[in-house]
Amino acid sequence: MAGLADSGSNPDVDLLFDINGLAKDAPHWFDRVMEYVGEYGIVLALVLLVVWCWWSVRRRGDEDAASSVAALVWAPLAAGIAVLVNVPIRGFVERPRPFLAHQGLEVLVSGKTDYSFVSDHATIVMALGVGLFVANRKFGLVGIGLALLGGFCRVYMGVHYPTDVVGGFALGTAVALLLSPLAMALLTPVMSAIERSPRGGWLIKARGGSRAGGQKAVIPGARKEAAGAEERDLAA
């Protein structure tokens, strides 16, 4: 894999210079924004998206809330497992960072001394996005969109080849999807037990019901009948 970086006519290298070349023409403040977004912002946004989705699930309080929360718990777990799987891959491939093999790149982040393939950032963000998609389609599509943006940022910053990012996307997706059935089988009973517990149930469903804003439905006329029954009891 390292040999792929040696040829300037390689499409991977050409695309790297095309995307990274945008950083040379962009204003300094825009590069700083892309640096922050690519290094921290996308991961933070995905974490907040997972939290937002969890809040939405618990407020609705559907019957399948436990399984939905289990899927949300799986999303960050999938990202962590995918990164662990990537450790031997990086050590086996040993692909240097692009700025070590090619002159003229606009490198926005210094201090990157580890290997380039597969991108940890791309792996993490796509595992989070796909894991979120397993839990909720709408939130998941937004998460996958953010992951794609994060991958673009890594190439823009000059710290990864496009194939590093594509490999990270593939690894994150594979872990999140292939291990999802096993993860759901293990996590759903745990979430169901938490839902039934008096202290932890609020983590799965909001207290006092769901769709009606936490208020129990009242049958028309029930209050009048109850009031009449109280008056009869007092008269007796």
CATH of the domain at 158: 1.20.144
pLDDT value of residue 166: 95
125 touches 146 (CB < 8 A): yes
Q: Which domain holds residue 98?
A: 2-235
Rounded mean pLDDT, 169-197: 91
Work out the pLDDT band at 107, boundaries 50, 70, 90.
confident
Number of Cα atoms under 13 Å in the Cβ half of residue 113: 1
pTM of the model: 0.79
Position 75 pLDDT exceeds 60:
yes
pLDDT value of residue 183: 93
Q: Side chain identity at 111, as an amino acid letter?
A: G
pLDDT value of residue 152: 95
Number of domains in the chain: 1
Lowest mean pLDDT among 13-17, 79-83, 108-112, 219-223: 219-223
Position 194 pLDDT exceeds 60:
yes
Rounded distance between C-alpha atoms, residue 202 and residue 12, angstroms: 49
pLDDT value of residue 133: 93
- Sign, CA dihedral 112-116-120-126, equals positive
| Residue 112 or residue 46, greater confidence | 46
Cα 113–Cα 118–Cα 123 angle in degrees, nearest 5: 110
Calculate the average pLDDT of the chain: 82
pLDDT value of residue 2: 44
Percent of the chain, pLDDT > 70?
A: 83
Rounded distance between C-alpha atoms, residue 125 and residue 48, angstroms: 12
Rounded distance between C-alpha atoms, residue 55 and residue 204, angstroms: 9
